[in-house]
Amino acid sequence: QQPVQSPQAVILREGEDAVINCSSSKALYSVHWYRQKHGEAPVFLMILLKGGEQKGHEKISASFNEKKQQSSLYLTASQLSYSGTYFCGTESNNAGNMLTFGGGTRLMVKP
């Protein structure tokens, strides 16, 4: 069962903030976030392990709430370079399972 991402698409002005959510019907062990720009390969952003940790990379951070079985990606003071499609990949247990990817959230940042 793949995770559900919301919203499916979002349009921002440069400098605005956005939140992308990833929810699963299964208990999660880890969540991975990737960004894919049009015509390019998906690029790894960060991984969060259970324990409710938060991580950040410049002005992009994420949280993982294992009780709610969801993760959120926070984009602060968005830049034009943030445009792309964001995917979450989830691992439902620590048994070497494959990642299951969500449907993606298309983010467009306008000047």
> Site residues (CB under 8 A) for another protein?
2, 29-30, 32, 34, 39-44, 47, 87, 89, 91, 96-104
- Smallest gap from residue 108 Cβ to another protein (A): 16
CB of 18 to another protein, least distance (A): 20
Strand-strand pairing, 30-36 and 60-65:
unpaired
Considering beta carbons, is residue 96 or 111 the nearer one to another protein? 96
CB 65 within 8 A of CB 59: no
First to last CA, the chain: 37
What minimum distance in Å lies between the beta carbon of 74 and another protein?
Answer: 20
Residue 10: half-sphere exposure toward Cβ, Cα within 13 Å: 22
